[in-house]
Chain A
Amino acid sequence: MKVVLDKLTKIFPNKKKNEEVVAVNNFTFEIPDGKLIGLLGPSGCGKSTTLYMLSGLQKPSSGKIYFGDDDVTTLAPEKRGVGLVFQNYALYPHMTVKQNILFPLQNQKVSKEEALRRTIEVAKLVQIDELLDRKPNELSGGQQQRVAIARALVKQPKVLLLDEPLSNLDARLRLQTREEIRRIQRETKVTTIFVTHDQEEAMSISDLIVVMKKGVVQQIDHPQDVYDNPKNLFVSKFLGTPPINVFTGVIKDHKVFIGNDNIAFCDAPDQEVYVGIRPEGFAIDKNGPFKLPVKSIEVMGRDSSIIGERDEAENKIVKAIVNDLIDNPSKVFAGISEISLGIKEHKIFLFNKETEERINVEIKTTLADNKENKLNKVTTKRSVAEKSAGKSEKKVVRKTAKKVSNVVKEK
């Protein structure tokens, strides 16, 4: 079932300070049926609030929610048919796993045999059928998490909502459970909204990513597109580890400068800009325009990163990942105090200095583009076209969503 959020807004009054917190601001989005949506943003940006409004536990201040074609804005939670997995699972500690999973069914007055059948079915699906007689505190974090999902799934919800379900797990379990959730979602085909503040998690699991900041939706796109085509500085900084390098730069006569280095060419009017360059966007190049005083070399597995210092960079530190098949990077770089780097065209972004919005122009650098880059440029152009068409954001959003669903269908 598709879920539509229409100008959804939630304002919390703060009695003590006599001010209002706009937790969610004008959120409009149509979630396609059967997709897994990653709701991504830093802590306190309103992700949980959005989820609670969808579940019915909190009433929106304004705006509407549709499940399919039904307006459910004022419907009580139990009548919405949603499954909600809380951040700390909220399993009833005094009930066994089986009783926990049975609980929603008993409330729906499902017959005993039917309820038991479904419980065992869903327990098998999440692979906890061996643990049915245990109490939650006798389970590991990952097992508790599965029980919580089973409890949410057993009533065959139309929408499954997960609030940071992996944040209480350790790193390895998180990876494993992530895949598990993906598998369960694929098998049940239930429309799922997955809240997380971990960009990697969102990237790896979602069909579509919604990036939020302080209650405002920043970008809705295919995971790779959000990475390759960030709409603004915030999005570009929020995605990617190690994070993007941001420099203060300037455009002069169609040349992009960082300090005195003319690193790229573009078709934009003269102005001050933020230049974002992904760490993997650098390549060692004798004639490269970007001069980087080298501070240290970090070797991580196959990649080695050059840590350098530039005053124009945020925090003055620049990180460049180069995997140019250097066998012994520390030896190669020993004694080199400055290195020349080239920049890959599709890894560099320009942002308006005031609005921090992306400046959507074609950028040329001295490094030749390879095939992979060209593919990406097509998407760039597409989003540029959308923007220039001057359509309202809402329409763009719907269109992107549709496009994505089309792409998925074709596959």
Chain B
Amino acid sequence: MNPRILAATTGRILRQLRHDRRTVALLIVVPTVLLALVYFMYVDQPTPRGQPTVFDRVALIMLGFFPFIIMFLVTSIAMLRERTTGTLERLLTTPLAKLDLLFGYGIAFGLAGVVQATVASAVAYWVFDLTTAGSIGLVIMIAAINAVLAVALGLFCSAFARTEFQAVQFMPVVVAPQLLLCGLFVPRGEMAGWLQAVSDVLPLSYAVEALQEVGAHADPTATMWRDVAIVAAAAVAALVLAAATLRRRSG
């Protein structure tokens, strides 16, 4: 890896994003609209005493989901485009190292995820009155790590797609099971043993647990840090796998 090349690549990816104003607008606005939807869905629901409201519970986890889902999609399509337009082949004939490209995507879309999560969190806390015991900063940090994980998974999955149609199909494959089994719908402890086992190997389960820890405790807990470390390790593992899918020579 080379810091100059990494910086140039990160800048190039962000510049591409900047030219696509509509995508930027959608990235920022859609989470806020969906949060509003959830807020008004649950606003009249009664809450048992001493428990967080449904909105508090759901919105907190949604803040972690948005960057995960969106950055996975954006990255898979961006990387697929690099493959189909020939820019990837050309890049691999230049001094750029594979990790320069992969980390470039990780940093660029990770930053985009941070911006998205920051705006969504600010709206959730100050417009819709989201209350958590822990701080908004921790929520944004977990969302940012989710974004990087999503970028890494997107880079990896794009190797198995030949067309945009196929790339989009990986979204339900990769994201939906993690969403269903992360503990939002049924607490993980109440699932059948084999579902729990599956849930245990899905990185999003740990991201959700970390967010729930922030929701319940004023100070960062050891469990939260452990979960954050697991998600970060999963992101690094996915990046390494993605590097293995980049071949300088092809048939």
Tell me, yes or no, whether A binds B: no
- Chain B residues with a Cβ under 8 A of chain A: none
- Chain A residues with a Cβ under 8 A of chain B: none
